[in-house]
Amino acid sequence: MPESDLKAKRQQYDDWKWMFIRTAELFEKTKVAQSDRVRIAVLDTGLDKSHPHIKMEIERVWVYDKSKRTFTKGASTNIVDTKGHGTHIVGLVLEYAHEADVFVADVDFDNEPNRDMIADAIVAAVKNKIDIISISVGFQQRVLGDAMERAIDYAKANNVLIFAAASNSGANAGRSWPARYDGVFAIHSTDTNGNPSGFNPTEFEGINFATVGEAVESSWPNHLSRSPAKLPNGKGLKGQDTKGGVDFSPDCSVEVKSGTSFATPIAASLAVFLLQYAKKNLEPKFVAQLKRYGTMQSVLKCLAGTKRGGFYYLTLRIHPDHLFGKENAEEIKRIIEAAINESG
Distance from C-alpha of 207 to C-alpha of 92, rounded to nearest angstrom:
25
Asked if 186 and 208 count as a contact pair (C-beta separation under 8 A), the reply is yes
Among residues 51, 85, 88, 188, the one annotated as catalytic is 85
Among residues 44, 48, 101, 241, the one annotated as catalytic is 44
- Indicate if 85 belongs to the active site: yes
- Indicate if 51 belongs to the active site: no
- Indicate if 188 belongs to the active site: no
226 Cβ contact partners less than 8 Å away, ≥ 6 residues apart: 248
Among residues 136, 189, 258, 261, the one annotated as catalytic is 261
User: Residue 84, CB half-sphere, CA atoms under 13 Å: how many?
Assistant: 20
286 Cβ contact partners less than 8 Å away, ≥ 6 residues apart: 278, 336, 337, 340
| Closest among 248, 247, 253, 246 to 222, alpha carbons compared | 253
CA angle in degrees (0–180, nearest 5) for 279-219-174? 75
Name the residues annotated as catalytic. Answer: 44, 85, 261
